[in-house]
Chain A
Amino acid sequence: MQKINELGEIREKTPVLEVSNLYVKRANSVVVEDANFTINKGDYVGIVGPNGGGKTTLLLAILNIIPRTKGTIRLFGQEIESFTSWDKVAYVSQSAVNFDSHFPLSVKELVGLGRVNRSNLGRTLKRTDWETVDEVLDFMGILDIANRRIGQLSGGQKQRVFVAKALVRKPEIILLDEPIVGVDAKTQEKFYKKLSDLNLKKGITIMLVTHDLTAVFCRMSKVMCMNQWVNVAELTEGVNPEELLRKAYGEHFHFVFHNHECERTFEDE
């Protein structure tokens, strides 16, 4: 649990995202019901819950892509309606990795597209932009495949490439709707390790939708359980969030979880 202690130290109590009394409807049914929570700078939040529990909907509402029925969402202290610093917020969608595999783009070109924004509209990317791209490719460990076509990448490489595309914007918070395609457990664990580095070394706030409960409890500072309602718990030593999970997934689910699983997970690093 050492990682979590480290996290505790770097985490400041500066709210990055504040959600209160949030209701979101999709196709006339309530998907998010009375969500209230605060995410602070440096948090690494795992969002878990059954399929259809509203995880993606919540992220889309935070990003102001879908409207909400009620409640307020504040990003960096500002209500999202008047929020303008969207460059601080990066998002990797679940479907990001399902692109047309014949699309003619190299890894570097794709990641470079992450630097495109309103302020450089109609201008070519500068050398400093490409330096940022190289830096991030290096950090994500994909510099060696910079010139490969994106259609030729493995599932794990695709994940890293799309996170890199989000990172070149130098965001302060990154929302990931777990982009998984044919990724084996070991590759997946390496990916979570990379995200941990991002969180610890760069202080980036991360919210990650995932089904990997082990990763949540071993790596992350908060767990957000979702099944229409939202419940956020700090993951500090001694916390047993089994009850939360059972509430989200249903009474007949049993979660057997021991600290030694984390040790095993960290072993092969």
Chain B
Amino acid sequence: MNELIDILRLFEFQFFQNALLGGTIAGLACAWVGLFLILRKEAMIGDGIAHAAFGGIAVGLLLGINPILTALLVSILAVLGISYMRRRGLAQSDSAIAVMLAVGFSLGLIIISLAGGFNIELFSFLFGSILTIDQTDLIIVTILGISTIIVLGTFYKELLSITFDEEGARLMGIPVRPLSLAFNLLVAITIVLSIKIIGVILVVALLVLPGLSALQLNLSFKGTTFFAVVFGIVSMIMGIILSAIYNVATSGVIVFTAAGIFLIVAIYRKLE
């Protein structure tokens, strides 16, 4: 009984409320964007951009600017770099992603070794530290998250059409190139807003796992999207609460919860 009261008291703290709100927005955005990524067979672009963003974080820490903003800038550059390399025929999609991943991450390493001193803070971006989200972070996360959700909601049917059959979409007069680029920018934004919460290394799990769980249910696109988003948000909230109770790394617990949901759905499908 006392334990339950302890848990409920957590909700009174500002830091915990920040974490839950930030987590919900990131969970929603990641799951929705991630579902499209899975269906486009481009899940690794998420990992690539996340690692490149690490370079941006280091730049922000070095210059004393909010690292989320510098990470956003570097991620967007990485997206543009990937799409440029692809378009110019310099590299296939997966190789282009690998290049941007390595270059961005190296940028971070060089800056750390040059500057030194902010290792602990950097650690929190690598592995996430949702409980240290402050008011400014929350405002940035909310603005980025809501913008992503609005853009995705607006061009939902076009993106679905492109994802299903790109050539067909082009033929129907849908502006495929600009929308694909816009989508990749949304991926960058989503990743950056999630970095503080789950960290550079694990963000790809949050993009992929909720969508994969929902896909197993064999529903329509609407149904799949709904469950992906629900799984994303539930993973976040459960992860945050469980990690607070047992005092273990939040991002790890979030990913474990998401993986747990995946497993439960898989078993349910098997038994059905």
Binding site for B on A (CB under 8 A): 63, 65, 86-87, 91, 93, 96, 99, 102-106, 108-110, 112-114, 116-118, 121-122, 124-125, 147, 149, 151, 169
Contact = CB atoms under 8 A, between A and B. Distances in A.
A110 B222 CA distance: 12
B173 A104 contact: no
Given A109-B220, A125-B157, A149-B219, 19 more contacts: A86-B172, A91-B168, A96-B168, A99-B165, A102-B215, A103-B164, A104-B218, A104-B220, A104-B223, A104-B224, A105-B164, A106-B220, A106-B221, A108-B220, A112-B157, A113-B157, A113-B160, A121-B155, A124-B156
A113 B162 CA distance: 10
A261 B160 CA distance: 44
A116 to B, nearest CB: 5
B175 interface: yes
A63 B158 CA distance: 21
B40 to A, nearest CB: 11
Contact of A122 (B154, B171, B218): B154
A67 to B, nearest CB: 15
Contacts of B173: 86-87, 117-118
16 contacts: A65-B167, A86-B172, A99-B164, A104-B214, A104-B221, A105-B221, A109-B221, A109-B222, A113-B157, A113-B161, A117-B174, A118-B173, A121-B158, A124-B156, A147-B220, A169-B172
B-side interface size class: 20 to 34
A169 B173 CA distance: 12
Nearest to B223: A104
Interface of B: 39, 154-158, 160-161, 164-165, 167-169, 171-175, 214-215, 218-224
A81 to B, nearest CB: 15
B165 A96 contact: yes
Given A104-B218, A104-B221, A149-B218, A122 B160 contact: no
Nearest to B215: A104
B224 A110 contact: no
Q: Report which residue of B173, B175, B214 has the largest number of chain A beta carbons within 10 angstroms of its beta carbon.
A: B173
A125 B165 CA distance: 19
Nearest to B157: A116
B220 A149 contact: yes
B158 A122 contact: yes
A116 B174 contact: yes
Given A105-B220, A106-B221, A116 B172 contact: yes
Nearest to B39: A103
B221 A63 contact: no
Contacts of A112: 157
A255 B49 CA distance: 60
A166 to B, nearest CB: 9
Kindly name the residue among B161, B168, B172, B215 whose own CB sees the greatest number of chain A CB atoms within 10 A.
B172
Interface centre among B156, B161, B223 (most CB of A within 10 A): B161
Contacts of A118: 172-175
Nearest to B216: A102
Instruction: Give the 4 A-B CB pairs with smallest separation, nearest first.
Output: A118-B173, A106-B220, A104-B224, A122-B154
A113 to B, nearest CB: 5
A181 B272 CA distance: 29
Contacts of B215: 102, 104
Given A102-B215, A117-B174, A124 B220 contact: no
A116 B163 CA distance: 13
A65 B171 contact: yes
Contacts of B220: 104-106, 108-109, 147, 149
B227 to A, nearest CB: 10
Contacts of B168: 91, 93, 96
B19 to A, nearest CB: 31
Contacts of A103: 39, 164
